[in-house]
Amino acid sequence: MTFDLTEGVVVLRRTPALLRTLLSDLPEGWIEATEGPGTWSPFDVVGHLIHGERTDWVPRVEHILRHGDAVPFPPFDRDAMFAASKGLTIGELLDTFAELRDDSLRRLQTFGLTEADMDRRGRHPEFGEVRLGQHLATWVVHDLTHISQIVRVLARQYSDAVGPWRAYLSVLRPDPRSLIPDP
Amino acid sequence: MTFDLTEGVVVLRRTPALLRTLLSDLPEGWIEATEGPGTWSPFDVVGHLIHGERTDWVPRVEHILRHGDAVPFPPFDRDAMFAASKGLTIGELLDTFAELRDDSLRRLQTFGLTEADMDRRGRHPEFGEVRLGQHLATWVVHDLTHISQIVRVLARQYSDAVGPWRAYLSVLRPDPRSLIPDP
């Protein structure tokens, strides 16, 4: 499927509501649950998404519009949320994410991007030349990746509770792919 | 984490709203998208969840309460939704699922299950002795598995569109575990 900005925005716009339905008022223990040492809890993931709104998605669009591929993006700090989320509740994080996403999509709209703009070049600090459309498609997939991750973390809390059904539920089996994607 | 009926119901109750937020009014093409031949679309998955409400989750609770482990569960038909969903819209499927889930949870409550009931024995047609609590935990994990599957199917539609970011998004890499869980 080719990336289409209008369609992509339809998906991006529903992420805050989705996270709220998934995580608001969940029984204690689920929000802080992880998949083991070094992996993220739903609480950590929402903090990571907040940091993406602040420093990655729209800021890198602005970066491309301003610098093209002449200046690489500043690198993304994937551990920033551990300090930034400290002392906050999941409800506060969900509210903050919803406000920031709303603001991101409003700013995105002010750029008036056309289909031709999707080919604009940017420079990624690690893998070099990228296109604006690829960056925006990544924003969509990144949301979906982390929603899928949260759902998996929740599911795995019942890994033992399901007994013999465990063998039939692929989500409970170890995933040989990396657990924390980091675009 | 030990299975707790009240907590499990909190998760089960939000699945219809979650699917609605995820799938209602999505751009054309996403609802019928799959991960390749033999894999399910979001449309197929919602049909599968509907069939589970009708023939698996509460019916098997009733089966255990009536027969214990003397009579194995009737096997579950994992292809039933291909015929049953024919000609319906995703909106109709989402409505049907929401009604059935609501009804399932109401019926579940009428059984007045206690913690001791969680140890009641049933018999699975393939893997033998199971406990009522394991069946109910599986219901929760099964919901989460299929939500995660839908999210992954959507994400993969942009596998090419993300360009070089592809290498960083684990959800886009082939999953060596089976794609369609079948408890």
Residue B179 has pLDDT above 90, yes or no: no
- Asked if residue A100 lies in contact with residue A13, where contact means CB atoms within 8 angstroms, the answer is no
Contacts of A88 (CB under 8 A, 6+ apart): none
Contact assignment for A175 to B178 by CB distance below 8 Å: no
- Asked if residue A18 lies in contact with residue B18, where contact means CB atoms within 8 angstroms, the answer is yes
B169 to chain A, any CB pair closer than 8 A? The answer is yes
Those of residues 29-68 in A touching chain B at CB distance below 8 A are 29, 33
Residue B178 has pLDDT above 80, yes or no: no
Among residues B8, B16, B151, the alpha carbon closest in space to that of A181 is found at B151
Kind plus residue range of the DSSP H or E element containing A129: strand A128-131
* DSSP-derived secondary structure letter, B125: T
Chain B nearest-CA residue for A140 = B155
A75 to chain B, any CB pair closer than 8 A? The answer is no
Q: Where are the alpha helices (DSSP H) in chain A?
A: 5-23, 42-55, 57-67, 80-84, 90-110, 132-156
Phi, psi (rounded to 5 degrees) for B127: -110, 20
B175: confidence class by pLDDT, cuts 50, 70, 90 = low
Instruction: Find residue B121's DSSP bridge partners.
Output: B131
Shortest Cα–Cα distance, A1 to chain B (Å): 5
* DSSP-derived secondary structure letter, A133: H
Question: ipTM of this model?
Answer: 0.92
Nearest residue, CB atoms, A161 vs list B1, B6, B164? B1
Nearest residue, CB atoms, A10 vs list B27, B167, B173? B27
Average pLDDT, chain A: 92
What pLDDT, in 10s, does the model give residues B72-121?
999 888 888 888 899 999 999 999 999 999 999 999 999 999 999 999 99
Question: What pLDDT shows up at residue A175?
Answer: 59
- Asked if residue B139 lies in contact with residue A163, where contact means CB atoms within 8 angstroms, the answer is no
B181: confidence class by pLDDT, cuts 50, 70, 90 = very low
Among residues A171, A6, A147, A48, the alpha carbon closest in space to that of B30 is found at A6
Average pLDDT, chain B: 92
Chain B nearest-CA residue for A170 = B181
Q: From CA B98, how far away is CA B87, in angstroms rounded? A: 19
Contacts of B119 (CB under 8 A, 6+ apart): B131, B132, B133
Question: What pLDDT shows up at residue A178?
Answer: 43
Count of CB atoms situated within 10 Å of the CB of B17: 17
Provide the phi-psi class of B16: left if phi over 0, else alpha when psi is between -120 and 50, else beta. alpha
- Asked if residue A163 lies in contact with residue B134, where contact means CB atoms within 8 angstroms, the answer is yes
Average pLDDT of the segment spanning A107-126 = 96
What pLDDT, in 10s, does the model give residues A20-58?
999 999 987 999 999 999 999 999 999 999 999 999 999
Residue B176 has pLDDT above 70, yes or no: no
Interface A-B: count of C-beta contacts within 8 A? 178
Q: Where are the beta strands (DSSP E) in chain B?
A: 121-124, 128-131
Q: Which of A127, A160, A169 to mutate to probe the B interface, most B CBs <10 Å?
A: A169
Exposure letters A173-183 (e unless 16+ CB within 10 A, then b): bebeeebbbeb
Among residues A75, A56, A69, the alpha carbon closest in space to that of A12 is found at A56
B71 to chain A, any CB pair closer than 8 A? The answer is no
- Asked if residue B146 lies in contact with residue A154, where contact means CB atoms within 8 angstroms, the answer is no
The helix/strand/coil state of A143 is: helix
B27 to chain A, any CB pair closer than 8 A? The answer is yes
The percent of chain B in helix, strand and coil, each rounded to the nearest 5, is 60, 5, 35
